[in-house]
Each structure stands twice: as C-alpha cells, then as structure tokens.
Amino acid sequence: MKCGAWHQCGDKSQKLVVEQLNGGYGVGVILSPRDLTEAKAAEYSTQYRGLGADVLIDPQFYVPDFTNDNLESYTISQFRQSVSLLNQISDADLAQLAGELQALNASLQSAAVIAPAVLYEAGRNDIVQLNARLFDAAKSVGNALGVPTLASVGLARSVTSSPQTITWALNAATALNADGWYYAFEFEEERIPSGKDAVYRCLDAGLTLAATAKPVLHAYAGPMGLLSLGFGASGVGIGHSQNLWKFTRERWEGANGQGGGGNAPARFFSGALWGTTIYPDETGQLSAGVRSQVLAPPTPFSGPVLATPPLPWKRWDAGKHLVCVLAQTYGSLAGTTNARVNANTAVTRLTGALTLHAAIKGLGMTLGDNTDAYQANWRLAMTDLLTNRATDFDFMEL
C-alpha cells in the first residue's frame, strides 16, 4: 500500500481530486459508489491512475440495504439487501458476487480489492459469520487479479463504546486471511471527534490492526489522520466535506450528504492550529504576529487569504486548501514508517497548536468553531497510547 494521503471521494469531489493529484498532493484515491456511477468510476479511475495515483473502490456495504441512483448502476448492487437476507445468501450467489467484484475491480485496475462487509455490531455473531463469507468471496477476486485483498473493519458505535466489544470485533476481523485492513471507526455525532476516551479507543484499535504487520488504511480519517500514522496506519483517507472527516453511517441511511452550510463564510484550515478559523471575520481580528502563524502553511488555493489586502475567498477553495494541507502533512509524516516517531511528531504539533490557541485567547478572542476543543484530548490519547502500548511500538520497530 502506498503510504500517505488517500483521497476519500464523496459528493462533488472527483474533479477536486484531479486538481490535487496534478499538484502532487496524495498517493491514492478511494472511489465512492454512493457518489459516482460505475461508468464514471471507470472514467475517473483512468484519469487518476494517469496522474500516478493508486485506485481503490469501497463497496460500501455498511448499511447493505441502502441504495440510490449511483449505487444502482453497479452490478454488485443486486446483492444489496438487509443483513437478515444476506445471512441467507447461497454459495452460488456468493460466487456470482465474486464474479461481479472481479469485473468491477478489473475494469478500474484497482491496486487492491476492498472486501464488502457489514458494520461489526456488538454481540452479532451472525455479522461475524457473514463478513467472513463476504471476505472469502473478495479474497478469491484478489487472488484471481493478483492484487492484495483488504478486509473491511467497520466498527459500529455499539462496538466502539467499550474496549471489550472492540477486542471481540478485532478478534473476528484479524482471524481473516487478509493482506491488509480498511479501517473505519464510528464515533458519536460531532464535527470532529473530541472525547479523549473515544479517540484513545480508535487509536488503540488501529494499533492492534497495525501490529499484525499488515498495512492499515484509515478510512474517513480527515483531520484526525494526524494521529493515524502515529498508530501505525500506512494510508489516511481525507476529504473536503465534514461528512468525510469521520466515519458516519448516516451517509448510507438516506441523508443527502451535501454538508449544508448555506451562505456560511469560508473556514481557513490552519496547519499550526490544526483547526479552522472563520475568514475573514476572525482572521482579520488577529494581531499581525499571530495572524502570520495562523495562516500557515500556504497552499496554491490560499492566495486570496494571504493577499494585501485580503481578497474574497470561496468556501470551495477553502475546501481545496484544507485537503491540500492534510495531504502535505500526511505525506511528510509518511516519509518515516516508524509509528512511534510519527506519534511523537503528532504530540509535538498538537502542543504547538495549543500554545497558539492560548495566544489567540490572550487577544481576547474565542474562535467561533470551538476548534480548540479537541487538541488537548488528542494529545492525551496519543501519549497514553505511547505508554500503554509501548511493547507494540517496540515490536513494530523490529
């Protein structure tokens, strides 16, 4: 698996990804059947691969009976049905599913096959058995195409709420003969995961997968991907929209996934704050010294913000800037495969972010997005991981 940022495609992001790859930002693309027809997926796959990116397609069986017009264009969608019906799927139908998966991944020239899987739910042994059967079908496809097969490890809230249920689900997932892990962790609903205990459980579970010595692609990581390479992930899924900043099943439960916002002003994602400020309402109130620290790093999309005087800036360009900052940062972290080094780098960056947030408060300002609500907890979660799982970090360094 290529190490670094993977563009997690979502609503209206296909051309954005082309622009990012043209600039050298990101190493791969994860196509979303929810947001793109099969014909368009093939078209964009050719374009992305031509720009040097590896391509994967996520079958998105998380809520298996959800469908929309885009999903219905895929031949594998004939197998989208309730978990109770999927539990009854015959071996002949599984073989047909494998055939459709093979045709799809061959058409896209996927770098690996992501196995379809339902979200792991606490106490649901039927889902464990179903995911094992779905994985075996996908593994036969990977073997036939000569590419790795990644097991989908999607942990639902009923699992992520306690260490015991997480261990149970990971034991089931890691029993699969996978070549790597496509990992998604469902948090409670909030803009960015902020609870220290929940974030720690996400990192702890990711480290358990990484300690198998097989690559982990942390899907729907977004800004929290700063921590992903610290638990040993190889790839980090990023996107422009807030519903791509963390895994949420609501994207497959009938929500439109447009993100909303109306006429809300643009947000500048600051690599130094590791959070957003409202442009120009908040950035314009900063002292010159603090402002120069906040408005970093520059990207090809942040020119109007850095102009003298600052110019109008579109929300869409703010999204491009955010993706670019994430891709640059994760690409830099991926320069080392040492998880402990990356974990400590994340801790250092979060410490700097907290210092800069304190400087802003010293100016008598409170940022409207409450973007200093998570950095301290993220830092605590990572430092606890470094302490509690020191032996695993030692093992991964061997």
Rounded to an integer, the average pLDDT of 71-96 is 96
Residue 331 pLDDT: 97
Taking the C-alpha atoms of residue 274 and residue 357, their distance in angstroms, rounded to an integer, is: 10
* pLDDT tens-digit map of 161-187: 999 999 999 999 999 999 999 999 999
Does pLDDT of 58 surpass 90? Answer: yes
Residue 259 pLDDT: 45
* pLDDT tens-digit map of 197-225: 999 999 999 999 999 999 999 999 999 99
* pLDDT tens-digit map of 240-252: 988 888 898 888 8
Architecture of domain 4-252: Alpha-Beta Barrel (3.20)
Rounded to an integer, the average pLDDT of 377-397 is 97
Taking the C-alpha atoms of residue 146 and residue 290, their distance in angstroms, rounded to an integer, is: 52
Give the predicted TM-score (pTM) of the model: 0.96
Say how many C-beta atoms besides its own lie within 10 A of residue 143's C-beta: 13
Q: For residue 253, give both structure tokens.
A: 């439960």
Please say whether the beta carbons of 112 and 105 come within 8 A.
no
Supply the mean pLDDT for the chain. 94
* pLDDT tens-digit map of 303-332: 999 999 999 999 999 999 999 999 999 999
Does pLDDT of 190 surpass 90? Answer: no
Q: So where are the chain's domains?
A: 4-252, 267-392
Rounded to an integer, the average pLDDT of 101-105 is 98
Residue 262 pLDDT: 57
Please say whether the beta carbons of 115 and 151 come within 8 A.
yes
Taking the C-alpha atoms of residue 239 and residue 252, their distance in angstroms, rounded to an integer, is: 17
Taking the C-alpha atoms of residue 94 and residue 229, their distance in angstroms, rounded to an integer, is: 35
Residue 254 pLDDT: 64
Q: For residue 63, give both structure tokens.
A: 């809520």
User: Nearest CA to 85 among 58, 122, 57, 118?
Assistant: 118
Helix (H) / strand (E) element for 207: namely helix 196-210
Q: In terms of pLDDT, which residue wins out, 252 or 156?
A: 156
Residue 251 pLDDT: 85
* pLDDT tens-digit map of 273-290: 999 999 999 999 999 999
Please say whether the beta carbons of 177 and 139 come within 8 A.
yes
Taking the C-alpha atoms of residue 74 and residue 63, their distance in angstroms, rounded to an integer, is: 16
Beta strands in the chain (DSSP E): 4-8, 28-31, 54-57, 113-114, 149-155, 180-185, 216-218, 235-238, 267-270, 275-278
Residue 256 pLDDT: 46
Does pLDDT of 258 surpass 70? Answer: no
